Structure 1
Amino acid sequence: MDILTLVERIGEAPAAALLGLLTGVIFGIAAQRSRFCLRAATVEFARGRMGDKVAVWLLTFSTAVVWVQGAQYLGLFRAEEARIMAIPGSWSGAVIGGLLFGVGMVLARGCSGRLLVLAATGNLRSVVSGLVFAVVAQMSLSGWLASTRDSLAALWVTSGGHNMDLLAALGLPPMSGLAFGIAVAALALVVAARNKIGAWRLIFASGVGFAVAVGWVSTYALSQVAFDPVPVESATFTGPSASTLMFFLDNTAILEFDVGLVPGVFVGSFLASWLAGEFRFQGFEDEANMRRALTGAAFMGFGGMLAGGCAIGNGVTGGSVFAGTAWLALLCMWIGAMVTDVLVDQRGVRQPA
């Protein structure tokens, strides 16, 4: 069934939600089986290791670039029409929000996407932290924290009324994005081989990147046949977490890609963990652990909304289309996470989970 037929049968809004659900299920299965986690990769790197977690992150990031740039080369997607590229970006938001998000994901022991995946495997700590993240994200979008976020984001914005295309800004040919992705994927495979990572884990790591491409291509296809404007977007969890929360709390909320994405990730992760025999309930170890996790979730909620996306939204989805502010936010997330690990966790030398 093509997109036009789907829209004719169920309507534009349900079609968008269904595409979000599909993207989310693929992402959830792949992320759960590959144990993809930016927080774990940054902690591993901060401790001077290029281990399996760094290899998985590099492979996910690089394959997302390859899938997305390949789709663009085939005419299945146009990056300039992506929402992250079509609107002004905030350099100040990327720096401040990225640093806060990096701090938060170390404190919470997982980025927002990872918390959602873990919540579906029975991790009650991630359930509570994810709810705090979603509430603070909504507060930062249209609640008490919105004015603060707007003020910080307005300090330094991109010029020209749109985000910066790094490839165009550097004067590189369009195919350079695909070549870059292939080069990083080769590096990831070298690191993976040194750490003796199994083939299935690598396939699922690539599957996370494939889910990002599915989101971009499917929403682009929908935008070409829909009567009303449809945002061209893909996997990210700051805005969608807030949107999903409001969908269940406010009966005036509408169906959209975001509302399908979050439940899709939950369903995919649950199925993957259940079939693998890995579903089990877990809680907070103690009060200090709970306080730390909830503080980190709040930092991520505000930081992610200020940065224009989470570790997935900026670090994989935005990075795959070479959005300037996404790459800066990703860099700042790495810096914030590594500094927090050095100052907070390495005193006790806790191993990354």
Structure 2
Amino acid sequence: MTLATVDNPWLLILAGALGIGLLFGLVAAATRYCNMGAVSDWVLTGDMGRMRAWLLSIAVAIAAVGAFELLGAIDLDQTRVNYRAADFPWLRYLLGGTMFGIGMVLAGGCTTKTLVNIGQGDLKSLWAYAVVGLTALVLLNWPTARLFIDQGLAWPGLSLASLGIDHQDAGGIAAGITSLDHAYLRPVMASLLATGLFVWLWRLDHARRMRPADLAGGIGIGMIIVLGWLWTGSSTGQALMNEAALAFDPPRGTGTQSLSFVGPAAESLRLAADPKL
């Protein structure tokens, strides 16, 4: 029996997602992987160990995702969140990134570290993550907030479609400029970006060897991110999306996606308040 023939793809997807999430937590805890920790170590002490681990995970994920998409194993044009939309709301990106960075500093860690701390029994991190979830719940479900985000913060934006570009990813932009097929340009751009990061990390490694924990964290987290894309975009994930498309009351959260930390916090609070919502 193949995965595509499983009677309840929803439960199977959830079970796989739980396994991927637990694996991520184990690797992050064991290697001290943290986005904010990477930046703070570099700025405060000059230690680039965790920064290199962070960049290594990005390089691994970019290279692997580009390869798998070229092979047709995943289709990132059909993700739950349309990362490749033609509209480029740069103000929203800048404002959101700045606020998220300030929040990480005030909370004492990124959402990755916050979840790891919760797993280790830190009640302060539980409070911080509850605030993250409540804020996201309001922004995602309160009509006034949604209107402000979708329309207010969308201006002044950049419509790439007006320039003849259908997607905002690097491969899509290159395809729009050159009129070449993005199916080939995307893996090319992924290879260039990943190679640039690998070369830079290799040059840094000659100056000071990466610690085994940082090396393991970078490679491990990068591959786990790819595993998330592959699992949700698998035949089982496609079966779930097809089932949801035909349902009168489809389950929330379907679609090709990988690790996320803010949206699930909002969903957890929503389900805790009323599982029927």
TM tier, smaller: 0.7 to 0.9
Equivalent residue number for residue 83 of structure 2: 85
1:224 maps to a residue whose letter is Q
**Quick check: 1:91–1:158 contact (8 Å CA) kept in 2?**
no
Partner of 2:174: 170
Q: Does 1:15 align with 2:12?
A: yes
Q: Distance in 1 between matches of 2:208 and 2:201?
A: 11
Indicate yes or no: 2:210 matched with 1:197: yes
Aligned residue number for residue 259 of structure 2: 235
Is the contact between residue 61 and residue 222 of structure 2 (CA under 8 Å) also seen in structure 1? yes
Distance 1:125 1:195 in 2: 35
Q: CA deviation at 1:136?
A: 1.0
**1:65, CA displacement in angstroms?**
1.0
What pairs up with 1:62-77 in 2 under 5 angstroms?
62-77=59-74
TM superposition score normalised by structure 1: 0.63
Specify the alignment match of 2:239 in structure 1.
Answer: 225
Instruction: Kindly indicate whether the alpha-carbon contact (under 8 Å) linking 1:37 and 1:53 is maintained by their aligned counterparts in 2.
Output: yes
Alignment counterpart, residue 35 of structure 1, candidates 32, 35, 40: 32
1:326 alignment partner in structure 2: none
Specify the SS of the correspondent of 2:83.
helix
1:125-164 residue pairs with structure 2 within 5 A?
A: 125-143=124-142, 145-155=145-155, 156=157, 158-160=159-161, 163-164=167-168
What number of residue pairs does the alignment pair up?
A: 250
Within 5 A, what are the aligned runs for 1:1-353? 2-5=2-5, 8-9=6-7, 11-47=8-44, 49=46, 51-83=48-80, 84-85=82-83, 87=85, 88=87, 90-143=89-142, 145-155=145-155, 156=157, 158-160=159-161, 163-171=167-175, 173=185, 174-192=187-205, 194-221=207-234, 222-226=236-240, 227=242, 228-229=244-245, 230-253=254-277
Q: State the percentage of identical aligned residues.
A: 22
Hey, what's the Cα distance between the residues in 2 that align with 1:164 and 1:15? 32
Q: Which amino acid aligns with 2:198?
A: A
Q: Which runs of 5+ in 1 are unaligned?
A: 254-353
Larger radius of gyration: 2
Contact 2:50/2:214 (8 A) holds in 1: no
More relative contact order in 1 or in 2 (CA 8 Å, sep 6+)?
Answer: 1
d(CA) in 1 for partners of 2:26 and 2:55?
18
Per the normalisation by structure 2, the TM-score is 0.79
Pair 1:20–1:34, CA change in 2 (3 A): same
Name the SS of the counterpart of 1:36 in structure 2. coil
- 5+ long unaligned stretches in structure 2: 179-184, 246-253
- With over 3 angstroms needed to count, the CA separation of the structure-2 counterparts of 1:148 and 1:40, relative to structure 1, is same
Distance 2:19 2:44 in 1: 37
